[in-house]
């Protein structure tokens, strides 16, 4: 009995140490996930939250419609109008100004115009540009004199950010920034890019667990208001199954 207190104290110390270690791990994980979000928010001039679509008016009269979970940083000067797409997607209706080109940068890809309407979207893998009216020039930020594509109305381009591969596409008029009306219209799009777009309207995370599904391509019209339903529709031809582990985690896998 006289030895009991000396045994209890180390046991309590070990438990306390384990709790501290668990809290430290949780704090580290929180920082890993929160820091990118905080960095975007700190640098953004305008941003939207999950499932929010908002229109903002820039100082030159240009209208920008931000997709869900998207952000831009705006920098206007005497000789240039520059916007950085920090995440997500945005639709621009640019007021013409021959003295000041309007440039949208997404990663290393720059889209330059003087006056037109177009959509720019960015995922971890790609940058895509779709033109509703007028024309745009798409180039790498460090090589503006060597355009990747010159696009006109109902034309689009998808640039692979890692490989630099450029794929041009023809678009239906209602397909450009269809997310403004709650729809996602895609043609021969990589499944993971479509999932990334749906993820911006989902209050948690969507994971593609099956490697075989990630390389699949899909065509269709999907409801951004029902990400789980959209996942089921787009993955059905490939035997995909959507599992909801919590209201905040959807996992897409092969059956």
pLDDT tens across 166-189, in order?
Answer: 999 999 888 999 999 999 999 889
**Over residues 100-127, mean pLDDT:** 94
Residue 245 has what pLDDT?
87
**Over residues 8-15, mean pLDDT:** 60
- Mean pLDDT of the chain, nearest integer: 87
Torsion of the alpha carbons at 32, 34, 39 and 44, rounded to the nearest 10 = 150
Place of tokens 């006289």: 2
Give 30 or 225, the one with higher predicted confidence.
Answer: 225
Q: Compute the distance between CA of residue 206 and CA of residue 232 in angstroms, rounded to an integer.
A: 12
Q: Compute the distance between CA of residue 139 and CA of residue 112 in angstroms, rounded to an integer.
A: 8
pLDDT tens readout for residues 116-172: 999 999 998 999 999 999 999 999 988 888 899 999 999 999 999 989 899 999 998
Give 8 or 238, the one with higher predicted confidence.
Answer: 238
Q: Compute the distance between CA of residue 40 and CA of residue 28 in angstroms, rounded to an integer.
A: 19
Q: Compute the distance between CA of residue 248 and CA of residue 228 in angstroms, rounded to an integer.
A: 11
Inter-residue contact 82 to 105 (CB < 8 Å): yes
| Number of residues that make up the chain | 255
Residue 204 has what pLDDT?
87
Six-digit token string for 211: 């490697």
Q: Would you say residue 35 has pLDDT above 90?
A: no
**Over residues 192-198, mean pLDDT:** 93
Q: Compute the distance between CA of residue 70 and CA of residue 176 in angstroms, rounded to an integer.
A: 17
Write the DSSP assignment of 133-146 as a string of letters: ESEEEEEETTBTTS
- Residue 137 φ then ψ, to 5°: -115, 130
| Helix, coil or strand: residue 111 | strand
Percent of the residues in the chain that have a pLDDT greater than 70, as a whole number: 84
**Over residues 70-95, mean pLDDT:** 95
Shortest CA distance to 75 belongs to which of 43, 37, 48?
A: 43
């Amino acid at each position: 009995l006289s030895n009991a207190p000396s045994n209890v104290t180390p046991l309590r110390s070990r438990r306390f140490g384990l709790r501290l270690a668990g809290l430290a791990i949780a704090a580290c994980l929180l920082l890993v996930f929160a820091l990118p979000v905080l960095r975007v928010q700190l640098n953004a001039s305008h941003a939207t939250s999950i499932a929010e679509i908002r229109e903002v008016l820039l100082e030159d009269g240009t209208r920008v419609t931000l997709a869900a979970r998207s952000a831009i940083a705006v920098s206007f000067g005497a000789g240039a109008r520059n916007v950085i797409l920090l995440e997500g997607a945005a639709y621009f209706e640019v007021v013409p100004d021959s003295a000041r080109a309007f440039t949208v940068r997404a990663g290393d890809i720059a889209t330059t115009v003087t006056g037109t309407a177009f959509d720019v979207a960015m995922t971890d893998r790609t940058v895509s540009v779709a033109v509703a009216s007028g024309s745009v020039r798409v180039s790498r930020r460090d090589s503006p004199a060597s355009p990747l594509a010159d696009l006109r109305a109902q034309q689009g381009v998808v640039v692979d950010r890692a490989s630099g591969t450029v794929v041009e596409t023809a678009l239906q008029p209602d397909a450009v920034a269809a997310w403004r009306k709650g729809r996602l219209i895609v043609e021969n799009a990589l499944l993971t890019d479509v999932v990334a777009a749906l993820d911006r309207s989902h209050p948690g995370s969507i994971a593609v667990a099956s490697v075989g599904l990630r390389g699949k391509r899909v065509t269709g019209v999907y409801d951004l208001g029902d990400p789980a339903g959209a996942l089921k529709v787009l993955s059905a031809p490939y035997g995909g199954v959507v599992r909801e582990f919590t209201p905040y985690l959807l996992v897409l896998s092969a059956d």
